[in-house]
Each structure stands twice: as C-alpha cells, then as structure tokens.
Amino acid sequence: MAIIHVLGSSIYFYIFLLIFPITNSISDSEALLKLKESFTNSTALDSWKLGTEPCTDHWIGVRCDNGVVWGLRLGHLGLSGKIDVDALGSLSGLRSISVMSNAFSGPIPDFRRLGILRGLYLSMNQFSGEIPSDYFTSMGGLRKVWLSGNGLSGPIPSSLAHLTHLMELHLENNQFSGAIPPFDQPSLVSFNLSNNNLEGEIPSGMSRFSQNAFTGNPGLCGGNLGKACDRPAKPPAGPPKMDGAQMKIIMWALLASLVVLFSLMIVGIFVLKRRQESLDPLVGDDVSRSFSTTSFDKKNLGSGQAGFGSGHRTASSGKGSRKYGKGVGDIVMINDDKGEFGLADLMKAAAEVLGNGALGSSYKAMMANGLTVVVKRIKESAKMGKDQFDGEMTRIGSLKHNNVLTPLAYHYRKDEKLLVYEYQPKGSLQYLLHGDRGISHAQLNWPTRLKIIQGIARGLAYLHTQLSSLDLPHGNLKSSNILLTPDYDPLLVDYGFSSFISSTQASQALIAYKSPEATLDHDISPKCDVYCLGLVILEILTGKFPCQYLNNGEGGTDIVQWVRSAIVEGKEVDMFDPDIECNKSFIGEMEQILHIGAACTENSPDKRLDVTEAVRRIEGLVSSQDDTKTIQVLSGDAYGDRLGQ
C-alpha cells in the first residue's frame, strides 16, 4: 500500500511537472543582466541596469510584448565573449535572438535547449567549426535561421531540412562542405547557400531558388546553375557467358536497332530542316540552348506560327504599337524607350528562371543588344479575344508614372500570353526587406523607407485614376511586386491583371482577394487594394513577412493583428523593425505611418481609408503646406522626381 502510495504520488509529481514545469524563477531583468555579464565588451548595453526594467525602461535591443521579453535585437553592438544560453533559457517568452554583426567566435552556442525559438540570427560573426547534424531537431518551431558570414564548416546539418516551418535560411559566406540536403519546405521564401564549398547535384525540387542562391560553390552542379552534372559512368559489367546461338541473336538485334536508329535520324534531320526553313531566319541554332528551352517550347511556337501565319499576325494595338518579325506571331511593342526587339531576339537571349508566381512564371532574358528584360508568362488567361487583349494592353501601355513600371511589349496567342518588362537589377522590396542582408538592406533607413511608402501610394493612386473602370485597379500589390530603382524609387508591377485572367485564377492568385471582405463575402472593390497598401506599409515598418502573403496559412506574421494590439496598448514603438537605424527624431513620423497602415487594413471596407485619403495622409507627413500634391499625384504628373527631397 505504501509502495502504491509512493508510486501514485510520483506520477502526480510528473504530471505536475508537465503542467507546471519547474522553471528557474529568476526574472527577465535578472536573466538579461546575467547574459550581459557573459559578454566581454558590453558598453553598448549601458541601459541594461540593475534597478530598472527591460520593458518599461526600454533596454536597448530588448523587444517586449505585454511586459514579457520576446526578442533580443543585439546586432552591430560590438559584442564579444560568450553567450550565456542558461540565462537565455530563463527568458520564458523569448522567441527570437539576433546577435548579427558582432565579434562572437568559437563554435555556435548550444541553443538547442531553447526549443521555442522562432528566429535565430547569428550572421556576420566569427563562429566556426561544425554543427552537429541533429542540432536543430529540438527547435522545430524555427522560422528564420541566419548563419551567413561566419567561418562554419562541415556538412550542412540535415536537421535544418526537417524544420517544417522554415521561411528563411541563410548560410552563405561560410565553409560548409558536402552535399546539400533536400530543402523542400514550401514555406521557404528566402534561401541562400552561396560562397561555400558545397558539392554534388542540387537536389531536385530546389529549382525555384535562383542561381544566386548557389553560386560560389565550385563543386555544385544542376538546378538553375547552368552547369550540368557529370553522371558517373556505370561500372562495366563482366561479359556474360554466351553460347554461339545467343551471340548470333544479339548481333542481329544490334544490327536491326542500328538500321532503325539511322532511319529515325534521317527523318529527324529532314523534319528539323523543314521546320527551320519555315521559322524566322533570325531564329538560329543556339535557340535550343537558350530562351526557348526554358520558356515557351518550340513545339508550341511551331503551332502558333501556323496560327499567326494564317491571318493572325500581330495587329496594330493602337498608338505607338509596332510589328516586328516575320512568319511567327511576334512581339507588340508598347513602349520602345529602351529600343526595339522581336520574339526572335528574346528566343536567342540567355534566360534564367526568376520565379514561379501564382500568375505564371517569370524569366530574366539578356538580349544581344544589351537590354535585359523580364518575360512574364501568364499561366491561364480568361477566354479573351485578341482584340480585347490588345485593348487592355493599349490601356496598360499608355500608363506613364514614375512609380509604375509599364510593360515594354507583349505577345498574344490563344494559348500563350507573354508580358515583357525592363529588368530592375535592384530587385523587389520583398527581397530587400527579407532576403538581402547586404548593403541594400542596410541602406533601408527610415527616410528611404518613407520615400518607398510615398512612391507606392503615389503609384497606386495613379493606377486608381487611370484604371478606374476596374474593380481592382492593381489587384496584386505586395512586396514582391514592388521593384526598386537604383535610387530606391518604387515601381509597381503586375497590376491590372484581374481584367485578363480568369476569375478562378484571380481568386487563387491575386493578393487583393485575401482582404477580409473578399475572403468572407467575395466582395471585390478598389478598397481591397487599399488593404494591400496597408499590408505593405506595415511590412516596411515592422520588417516582418506578412502571413497574408502565404497560401497555406502557415508562417509569416499576422502583422495586421499584431499592430492592432500594439496600438491598443500604446506600444507602437515595439513594432518597428530593429534594423531601422535608431534615430529618435523619426519615431513620431514612424508612428503616424503605422497608424495609416492600420487604418488601411481595417477589416471593414467602410471603415478603411480610401486610396485618396491614404495618399493625402502620407503626403501630409512630408509637407503639410502643399495641398496640391494629391491632385498632382492623381493626375499622374511627373511627381516622382520630387521623391528624393
């Protein structure tokens, strides 16, 4: 009986432990001070003082939620020494640690016991040595892992490939070696393994990542690298023992196959010659190695050629449109500021896949004349006749605004629609915010971010006046569809698509359909674009990737809800991206923009700002004197020139 009693009480004890785990009862401030002690150079942490509180007294680099520490942003503080992981373990609310760009060295600390971490940023230090393959197994909730710019070596830990929520993985500029584990997590949006010593074939399923994610690894091949893998030759099998009759059968079979092969070759050469004769003479031998192989296939082109050749040649699409090429359905130029080109020029260009968006795939093509373009191939379009498509393109082609990227050209066939844009080397806002931690990211200080927000609002307002007949004048406003010029002026792309894709595709592919009213009541209006504008504003301010962008509902941050709660609690300051250079004089402006972002993301379209009001408020931050600005923006004046002020 006594034994049963003892057993029983110990079971209760374990259940008690499970429900109320024994935690080190030190407070967050004690834990942080213990952590500070482990650093050798912590002068930057002067605000971490005994007798003050991390959340209420705004200790540098400490992020709080409801008085609980959830994040440490300790980048660029000249820290070195050890990182006391026991102290970190006492911070029960801790979800994210950043010690990027400091002087920590030695093996990476044993963060394994911090199983609740969501973000681990250790880039740009001097960590070295191998990481055990199962290191990340106990940290299944990790979303963001940044280890780039260290001296880490050995194989990439395979446990990283099993992190099912992983969104960002940066291992570039280390000395990792060996093969790449298969990273096939659909949540992974930002990924870089460049400049290591990795080798072998890039696993299949990773072709969605651009070439840049793998460059600088001389031993890698396959994927988008454009370097084929040499398959090891099969070891020669020992000669089977055969009798004379078997030998004869094999000889005859070989002879027969050779005859068949030879005949096929002759037929093939004949067919190829016929086809080349009928194609534009500009389409040379190298086509099969270049654009055509990665984009529209030649078989399709052949059939299209028949269609266009027989009366469907490109019709004039209004003022400024041109016809190029002969014999094949060709490109219609709608903007020849950058020079003229035809389908043949595109087909000869060296091409690279940029991405497979929900609307279709995009390719970067470098043409012989030096112009680099992006070709967007629309996956599925509405049953739109050529005249109607030409009409839409003429309308889109006539747009002229410093914050709107107008296509250069398009190509129409019943089963193939291509839009061609000028390539913007700086890339997208999404890449700059979440993918690139280099100089461009560092330059995203507050004045630059404000300039980007203003440009986006101006571009959107312009589209709303010029395409006012559309329910969704933009329809797909998100950070990957905002490109940046070298001067950080934003350029909106992928607008106006709702008019020429099918409604099913629109509801699956366009971000505007994620606004609450569209999701709940299928109620589409220009206010859906305003919701997207709000999302982008909050994304720029917080540096967080909005979960609303993802289709599977997993990953990302519900920034709308997050910001809403912060405003209620008067904790707007806690929301700002810690990577924004800290300058107190900006805080007021940042808070105002945060409120505008929140007003644009109101659930109810009636309560939400309309686009004119949103622009008016954003403009009001620059100069409340100039009441004429909004009017100029809406009329599409060359307003963007004043952005740099």
List interacting residues with ligand ATP (CB under 6 A): 354-355, 357-359, 362, 374, 421, 423-424, 427-428, 476, 480-481, 483, 493-494, 509
Nearer to ligand ATP (CB atom), residue 308 or residue 421: 421
Nearer to ligand ATP (CB atom), residue 396 or residue 493: 493
- The first and second tokens of residue 435, run together, are 């993918």
Nearer to ligand ATP (CB atom), residue 492 or residue 530: 492
User: Which three-class secondary structure state does DSSP give residue 67?
Assistant: coil
User: Which three-class secondary structure state does DSSP give residue 156?
Assistant: coil
CB of 141 to ligand ATP, least distance (A): 25
Nearer to ligand ATP (CB atom), residue 427 or residue 526: 427
CB of 514 to ligand ATP, least distance (A): 11
Detail the DSSP E strand segments found in 357-415. 360-366, 372-378, 409-413
CB of 443 to ligand ATP, least distance (A): 18
Distances (CA, A) of 29 to 36, 63, 75, 119: 10, 13, 19, 21
Backbone φ and ψ of 371, nearest 5°: -80, 130
CB of 508 to ligand ATP, least distance (A): 10
Q: Which residue matches tokens 């100039």?
A: 626
Instruction: Indicate the helix (H) or strand (E) that contains 181.
Output: none
CB of 210 to ligand ATP, least distance (A): 8
Q: Distance between CA 211 and CA 65 in Å, rounded?
A: 39
Cβ atoms within 10 Å, residue 485: 17
State the alpha helices, DSSP H only, in 343-486: 343-348, 386-397, 429-430, 439-442, 446-466
Q: Distance between CA 645 and CA 622 in Å, rounded?
A: 9
Q: Distance between CA 95 and CA 87 in Å, rounded?
A: 14
Nearer to ligand ATP (CB atom), residue 284 or residue 355: 355
Nearer to ligand ATP (CB atom), residue 157 or residue 546: 546
CB of 431 to ligand ATP, least distance (A): 6
Say what the alpha-carbon torsion angle 514, 519, 524, 529 is, to the nearest 10 degrees: -20
Q: Distance between CA 611 and CA 530 in Å, rounded?
A: 6
Buried b (16+ CB within 10 A) or exposed e, 59-68: bebbbbbeee
Nearer to ligand ATP (CB atom), residue 171 or residue 493: 493
Nearer to ligand ATP (CB atom), residue 135 or residue 423: 423
CB of 246 to ligand ATP, least distance (A): 57
- The first and second tokens of residue 157, run together, are 């830990």
Q: Exposed/middle/buried for 530, CB within 10 Å: 0-12, 13-18, 19+?
A: buried
Q: Distance between CA 180 and CA 408 in Å, rounded?
A: 39
CB of 373 to ligand ATP, least distance (A): 8
Q: Which residues, listed in sequence order, are joined to residue 221 by a DSSP beta bridge?
A: 201
CB of 479 to ligand ATP, least distance (A): 8
Nearer to ligand ATP (CB atom), residue 326 or residue 379: 379
Nearer to ligand ATP (CB atom), residue 331 or residue 374: 374
- The first and second tokens of residue 397, run together, are 């082609």
Residue pair 157/136 in contact by the 8 Å Cβ criterion = yes
Nearer to ligand ATP (CB atom), residue 489 or residue 572: 489
Report which residue's Cβ sits closest to ligand ATP: 357
Nearer to ligand ATP (CB atom), residue 31 or residue 493: 493
DSSP per residue over 294-312, as a string?
A: HSS-HHHHHHHHHHIIIII
CB of 419 to ligand ATP, least distance (A): 10
CB of 144 to ligand ATP, least distance (A): 18
CB of 427 to ligand ATP, least distance (A): 6
Listed in sequence order, the residues at least 6 apart from 580 whose beta carbon sits closer than 8 Å to its beta carbon are: 444, 445, 446, 449, 543, 586, 590
